[in-house]
Amino acid sequence: MRNVTPLHIGLGLAALTMAVPAQSQFESPAAPAPPLPAETIYADGRFYTPDGWATHMALNKGIIVAIGTAEDVAPHRTEDTQTSELGGLTVLPGLFDMHIHPGLAGMDRNYCTIPFPADLALLKQTVAGCVAARRPGEWVLAKAYQADQLGVPYPDRTYLDEVAPDNPVFIADFSGHTGWANSAALRLAGVGADSADPPNGVIDRDRQGRPTGVLHESAMRLVTAVIPSTEMAVIEDAVKWGASQLLAQGIIGFVDASTTFEQLQAYAALSDRGDMKQYVRTCIWSLAEDAIARRNLYARRNVQPDCVKIFLDGVPTAARTAAMLDAYVGRGHVHSAPPEHGILLVQPDEVLNAQVAGFDRQGLTVKFHAAGDSAVRQALGAIARARALNGYSGLGHSVGHTSFIVPEDIAVARKLHATIEFSPVIWYPGPVVGDIAAQVGPDKMKDYYAIGSAIKAGVLTVVGSDWPVVPPDPWTALETMVTRQVPGGDSEPLAPEQRVGLEIALRVMTLDSARQLGLHNLTGSLEVGKSADMIVIDRDIFAIPVTEIHATKVLATYIGGEMVYRHADRR
């Protein structure tokens, strides 16, 4: 039997004394705390909440302290409370774009813009005008052509030489995965008949073996490497401009899906000055070991540089660079077509698996570029290996684009707690979709952008515009997720079994996106205790025909209760 000493008795009495109030807090709840005073009350609105519609909302320091009826917010009103009347307007949670490139879009303002889509005559006319505005020998950078719309079998450098004999020209296609250079640009880059294809890239060649000027994937870098670098001030201005355009669309958070270190510096500097309002995750385009140091150096309250981008393939267009499980059926619009199953940019699997496991172990989220279903499978395999080695880290690694995914891999994604991200917003009929269908065949298009299947399987699903590939228009994205038709509904639906309901589509663009960023306890829905991140719009999207949603206008955008955008029509 153990000896009981005075010390043991004293400790026991102390423990008993401490246990009494601990137990009593459950048996006799304390008196409720006084209501938090509201600095602002928004009245007479239609607030979309998880519990239904509310008419009033009270804020304290940008946090929602009450939401419901006038009676619900009344206890929070003081003599200092400001009231903002909304006149019955609809208020939604702020939206997220989970795959976007604001800095690239901002830089596009400095480029020659090719009308989309353009035939060869219009493209040459546009380039000629841009050449005329520049000095001889000065670079002409342009976006964005689509090969199957040109009206010729193959793009060729000689077409550009006709309008730009003395200026180097480089044009990116609409996807950004193929470029087209003239002879002057190829000479500066040292690309000739004897040039070998770089790893993970293809130099298109004519029947005589001469480069046509069309460069796929990493081969583009042969030319872009000799283009003069951009000053930091220009990069910062581009990022700032891009983010400001998103506020006008009601986008309060986004993932910059391929961030350079210069752009990362710009995000940090803008945040320090109060010029970056949104929640931002940056996915660094680097596999360097200093990603950890850079992450901590440039992390800010609203900037998360905790993501690494890994490119696994290209695009399933006429370029045929997306990695597919089934062979392409189309020939494409190039002489030197990539392999019939496309290109896997990281091989062998062991190399990718080691990279992903290492980033996972260091707390970095990985966003994969994986458009084809073979690349998607490779990405999921790498995530599975990381889970096996490290256990579940809590990181929601994201498979990006996911134009094609087979049903069994959707189930794998659910098991791995992986995120499936669908982008760009081209899940309805159009020129790009027609190009893709011609390359992969009609059977493959039945499961094109399998958003509905992913959601039904319980996979965390998000979407993105991929701007500047397509405009950052969340209202078109929202409508067409529901209809799978062109905006306005004047077309046959594309893969109609992948439609989702409006409430689900809105959740994908709000709360589910916040969850993917680890911010779901702070934002993504209008609830007590969350940040007042909200948008006022000009119509009730639940009360109108769904085919009118694309015309929605944002009247005001708020982040943390601060109005960060106001439409000119809202005084």
In terms of pLDDT, which residue wins out, 12 or 536?
Answer: 536
25-to-17, 18, 22, 34 alpha-carbon distances in Å: 14, 12, 6, 18
- Residue 571 clears pLDDT 80, i.e. is over it: no
Q: Strand 460-463 relative to strand 419-422: parallel, antiparallel, unpaired?
A: parallel
**What's the confidence (pLDDT) of residue 294?**
78
Q: What share of the chain has pLDDT > 70, as a percent?
A: 92
Residue 438 near residue 148 (C-beta atoms within 8 A): yes
Q: Strand 211-217 relative to strand 178-181: parallel, antiparallel, unpaired?
A: antiparallel
Residue 160 tokens read as 């550009």
Mean pLDDT of 200-226: 94
Enclosing H/E stretch for 528: none
pLDDT-wise least confident of 97-106, 116-125, 144-153, 242-251: 144-153
Strand order across the beta sheet in which 56-60 lies: 63-68, 56-60, 40-43, 82-85
Bridge partners of residue 420, in order along the sequence = 399, 461
**What's the confidence (pLDDT) of residue 200?**
85
**What's the confidence (pLDDT) of residue 16?**
43
- Residue 33 clears pLDDT 60, i.e. is over it: yes
Torsion sign over Cα 481, 95, 53, 419: positive
Mean pLDDT of 352-367: 95
Residue 37 near residue 80 (C-beta atoms within 8 A): yes
**What's the confidence (pLDDT) of residue 395?**
96
Domains, the chain, with CATH or none: 40-88 (no CATH), 106-225 (3.10.310.70), 312-500 (3.20.20.140)
Nearest to 149 by CA among 118, 180, 114, 113: 118
Q: Please name the residues in contact with 396: beta carbons below 8 A apart, sequence gap of 6 or more.
A: 365, 417, 418, 419, 460, 516
Enclosing H/E stretch for 502: helix 502-508
- Residue 23 clears pLDDT 70, i.e. is over it: no
pLDDT digits (tens, 9 = 90+) for 389-398: 999 999 999 9
Residue 293 tokens read as 């140091």
pLDDT digits (tens, 9 = 90+) for 390-426: 999 999 999 999 999 999 999 999 999 999 999 999 9
Rg over CA atoms, the chain: 27
Residue 512 near residue 501 (C-beta atoms within 8 A): no
**What's the confidence (pLDDT) of residue 456?**
99
Q: What is the pTM of this model?
A: 0.90
Distance CA 80, CA 133 (A): 58
pLDDT digits (tens, 9 = 90+) for 271-299: 999 999 999 999 998 766 667 777 889 99
3-state SS of 31-43 is CCCCCCCCCEEEE
Q: Strand 56-60 relative to strand 63-68: parallel, antiparallel, unpaired?
A: antiparallel
**What's the confidence (pLDDT) of residue 24?**
56
Q: Please name the residues in contact with 4: beta carbons below 8 A apart, sequence gap of 6 or more.
A: none
Residue 378 near residue 405 (C-beta atoms within 8 A): no
Distance CA 477, CA 487 (A): 9
**What's the confidence (pLDDT) of residue 288?**
62
Residue 413 tokens read as 């994604």
Query: Helix or strand or coil: residue 352?
Result: helix
**What's the confidence (pLDDT) of residue 1?**
40
What burial class does residue 14 get, using C-beta atoms within 10 Å of its C-beta: 0-12 exposed, 13-18 middle, 19+ buried? exposed
Distance CA 213, CA 179 (A): 8
Q: Strand 178-181 relative to strand 201-205: parallel, antiparallel, unpaired?
A: unpaired
- Residue 244 clears pLDDT 50, i.e. is over it: yes
Sheet strands (E) in 261-372: 279-284, 303-311, 365-370
**What's the confidence (pLDDT) of residue 174?**
85
pLDDT-wise least confident of 99-108, 281-290, 370-379: 281-290
Mean pLDDT of 51-66: 98
pLDDT-wise least confident of 184-198, 216-230, 322-336: 322-336
153-to-156, 186, 284, 334, 549 alpha-carbon distances in Å: 10, 21, 37, 8, 39
pLDDT digits (tens, 9 = 90+) for 514-524: 999 999 999 99
Residue 489 tokens read as 């509904």
In total, the chain counts a number of residues equal to 571
**What's the confidence (pLDDT) of residue 32?**
79
Count of alpha carbons within 13 Å of 404, Cβ hemisphere only? 27
Nearest to 246 by CA among 431, 433, 102, 69: 102
Mean pLDDT of 479-494: 98
Considering the chain, what is the average pLDDT of its residues? 93
**What's the confidence (pLDDT) of residue 14?**
47
